Amino acid sequence: MTKTGAQILCESLVMEGTEVIFGFPGGAILPFYDALLQYPQLRHILVRHEQGAAHAADGYARATGKVGVCVATSGPGAANLVTGIANACLDSSPIIAITGQVARPFIGKDAFQEVDITGITVPITKHNYLVLEAAQMAKTVKGAFFIAQTGRPGPILIDIPRDVLQESAEFVYPDKVDLPGYKLTLQGHSAQIKRAAELINTARNPVIIAGRGVIISKAYTELKELAEKAQIPVITTLLGISCFPETHVLSLGMLGMHGMAYANMAVTNADLVIAIGMRFDDRATGKVSAFAPQARIIQIDIDPAEIGKNVRVDVPIVGDVKNVISALNKQITPGEHIDWLRQIEQWRQEHPSTEIRDCDELLPQYVVRQIWEVTKGDATIVTGVGQNQMWSAQHFIYTKPNSFISSGGLGTMGFELPGAIGVKVGRPEETVWCIAGDGGFQMTIQELATVVQENVAIKIAIINNGYLGMVRQWQELFYGRRYVATPLLGPDFVKIAEAYGIAGLRVKNKREVIPAIERAMEYSGPFLIDFMVEPEENVFPMVPPGATLAEVIERPKPQKVNP
């Protein structure tokens, strides 16, 4: 069966179960777009900027567990994918980025719209390909999908010259991949699992730190069994949020720079840390040399490169966390840590990190908490980075698995809107709230057109404080309140929403918050709310840069005044 390279690419995507492609056309990739007409089962969503395509594919992948696919043309189109590819790489999200390239005779000649996108993306992809023959297309796609979603997931780039898309070749889709150098370790080493079980069984003050690897592996049941059987409190990383129900008595919430003070105290005083699917990112550990100073450390991760990379590890276990925890649960004995749990509860009472002060001003924390109240927690929250991200992490109570989707490692402003589009496309029946800052939202605001054209019924909450909020907070606390380049002149977001054909409201005071959220929830289509919040509200708790987890800054408690 002879087909063009473009047709083989489409056939291969269909064979891999692709349903949605996020993309933006251009000259070098045009043969692929022409072939798409023959494949109505491949839904194409036209974004307004290629960065939006990568973020939407990323959000789709995180929401569904499937591989997200994005497409761009050569040169600037491919280069515009780079931020989204890097974001997916750092957060272990499986996406395939397909880029057009100039025709083979022009490669390396500085041809019109030529960049070496495979060279550019080497550090930010799990693997990448330059397809130089149509006959290699099917094999390449098969390998790309396999690599993207196995082991530690990650982004793959496939760069295809325009004439390869037009070239004809015999189409035979391979039954299996042939990757002799690609080895996966899915089962943990039995001796290491036994050592870990011994440490767990004898620990007095243990904690579990659960990361995004739990979500990727869908190890929710296994983690809950481990925590309950051994009676060990569970702390999550930022991207581990929603891997363990936050209403559970053993949940301590998030650790790290803006984590719960009592969670940080628990890590600091623990005699055993069980790290599951987390990489000891600097925002989680604080000063690395002083992280968990009294603890033995067990690290479970599918990526051997992460074991011991950032902190010392006593028991390393390489393997899929679902398999490893399942094996571990068979060897641990039922435990009791009554004194330890009582101590943590005392810290929780003395350091109430998620209390929202009662005041007349419209606080961003209050907005997030009311979204939780109105939705009853039955929603997926998508954020970018900054203060809005931290308030969303702290004040929405996550009980549903994989219900917090955000830019973690790269900290990408602008992820929130296209990411939410991808999440909603992947979960059309789910309520999806995009919680954004007024700064980050303007970075990809053009994707409101995509929302309308594709009728993606997301709800958007803009936490509008008139600043680049997190940078301003650092300037206030560490730079003598010298606000350089952080005061932010923003547009009328409601008018912009209406210009795109999206319903919108502006909220300026507390009494308007709940009715606005309820109206958004009742509305069948996309809805935007511009919350005009207290301009200089800060995110607390906060561990200053370079400080230990024990050196947390907490908001001073209001002094009681005698009547």
Q: How far apart (Å, rounded) are the C-alpha atoms in residues 414 and 384?
A: 6
Q: DSSP letter at 544?
A: P
pLDDT digit string, tens, across residues 88-129: 999 999 999 999 999 999 999 999 999 999 999 999 999 999
Q: What is the mean pLDDT of residues 229-238?
A: 98
Q: How far apart (Å, rounded) are the C-alpha atoms in residues 389 and 400?
A: 18
Question: Is a pLDDT exceeding 70 seen at residue 557?
Answer: no
Q: What is the mean pLDDT of residues 229-257?
A: 98
Q: Between the CA of residue 390 and those of 191, 208, 381, 400, what are the distances in Å?
A: 39, 21, 12, 18
Residue 314: pLDDT band with limits 50, 70, 90: very high
Question: Residue type at 386?
Answer: G
Residue 72 forms beta bridges with which residues?
Answer: 99
Q: How many CA atoms are closer than 13 Å to the CA of 338, on its beta-carbon side?
A: 0
Q: Which residues contact 31 (CB under 8 A, 6 or more apart)?
A: 4, 5, 6, 162, 165, 166
Sort 175 into a burial class: Cβ within 10 Å, 0-12 / 13-18 / 19+: exposed
Tell me which CATH code domain 364-532 carries.
3.40.50.970
Whether residue 541 is preceded by a cis peptide bond, meaning omega within 30 degrees of 0, is: yes
Q: What is the mean pLDDT of residues 318-345?
A: 97
Q: What is the mean pLDDT of residues 240-250?
A: 98
Q: How far apart (Å, rounded) are the C-alpha atoms in residues 352 and 348?
A: 6
Cα 399-400-403 angle, rounded to 5 deg: 110
pLDDT digit string, tens, across residues 285-312: 999 999 999 999 999 999 999 999 999 9
Give the closest residue to 433 by CA, choosing from 494, 388, 493, 492. 388
Q: Between the CA of residue 177 and those of 7, 19, 141, 559, what are the distances in Å?
A: 20, 21, 10, 66
Query: Could you tell me the residue ranges of all domains in the chain?
Result: 2-170, 190-350, 364-532
Question: Is a pLDDT exceeding 80 seen at residue 343?
Answer: yes
Confidence at residue 562, expressed as pLDDT on a 0 to 100 scale: 41
pTM, full prediction? 0.97
Residue 189: pLDDT band with limits 50, 70, 90: very high
Q: DSSP letter at 63?
A: H
Task: Give CA 301 to chain center in angstroms.
Answer: 18
Q: What is the mean pLDDT of residues 47-74?
A: 98
3-state secondary structure of 119: helix
Q: What share of the chain is helix, strand, coil (3-state, %, to 5)?
A: 40, 15, 40
- The answer to whether 10 and 35 have CB atoms below 8 angstroms apart is yes
Tell me which CATH code domain 190-350 carries.
3.40.50.1220
Q: DSSP letter at 319?
A: S
Q: How far apart (Å, rounded) are the C-alpha atoms in residues 449 and 86?
A: 25
Give the closest residue to 393 by CA, choosing from 409, 408, 412. 408
pLDDT digit string, tens, across residues 155-184: 999 999 999 999 999 999 999 998 998 999
Residue 555: pLDDT band with limits 50, 70, 90: confident
3-state secondary structure of 487: strand
CATH 3.20.20.70 applies to domain 2-170? no
Per-position b or e across 86-102, b if 16+ CB within 10 A of its CB = bbbbbbbbbbbbbbbbb
Same fold, 2-170 and 364-532: yes
Token digits of residue 486: 């952080």
Question: Is a pLDDT exceeding 80 seen at residue 6?
Answer: yes
pLDDT digit string, tens, across residues 456-505: 999 999 999 999 999 999 999 999 999 999 999 999 999 999 999 999 99
Q: How far apart (Å, rounded) are the C-alpha atoms in residues 8 and 110?
A: 28
What phi and psi values does residue 167 have, to the nearest 5 degrees? -70, 145
